[in-house]
Copies of this chain bind each other. A is one copy, B any other.
Amino acid sequence: AQMALERDYETQREYDTRYRVLLEAAREAFAFVSVNSGRVIDANSAAAALIGVAREDVIGTIFSQEFEGRRRGEFMQSLSAAAQAESVRPLELNLRRAEQRVLVTPTAFRAAGEQLLLCRIDTAEAAESVADELT
């Protein structure tokens, strides 16, 4: 059992590495948010740049405080509701520091017993250019 566990452990470590490489290779902005605390548990450089904080300072920030006029409880409820909607329905929000309109698309999931949201953050302009391409 110990050996099987160690073998599994090695496999899982590989996902840890793949995860980190993928997160940084993405040019889209991504933030992982804990539903319970409302805090950012991880985010990539693209997200940090968009939010307007240093990469090393983004982890631990209260996600709702990065947006204008959003209170934590209500904000996390809106995100969770959007994540559970049948069709993808991004939230239109204004970033507080950058004073920029963005679309936040949340995906809800559970990992190690904790409810998490993966939020993709698109600038409103980028979202429009994608929409243009699809029409």
Contacts and interface: CB of A to CB of B under 8 A. Distances in A.
Interface of A: 2, 5-6, 8-19, 21-23, 25-28, 30, 32, 42, 105, 107, 109-112, 114, 116, 118, 120, 129-130
A8 B17 CA distance: 14
Complex copy number for this chain: 2
Contacts of A111: 13-14, 17-18
Nearest to A107: B25
Q: Is the interface of A mostly helix, strand, loop or mixed?
A: helix
A110 B13 CA distance: 11
A12 B16 contact: yes
Contacts of A32: 18
Given A5-B6, A9-B5, A13-B12, A120 B25 contact: yes
Contact of A109 (B15, B21, B42, B114): B21
A66 to B, nearest CB: 19
A130 B21 CA distance: 21
A120 B23 CA distance: 12
A10 B16 CA distance: 12
A4 B69 CA distance: 43
A114 B130 CA distance: 36
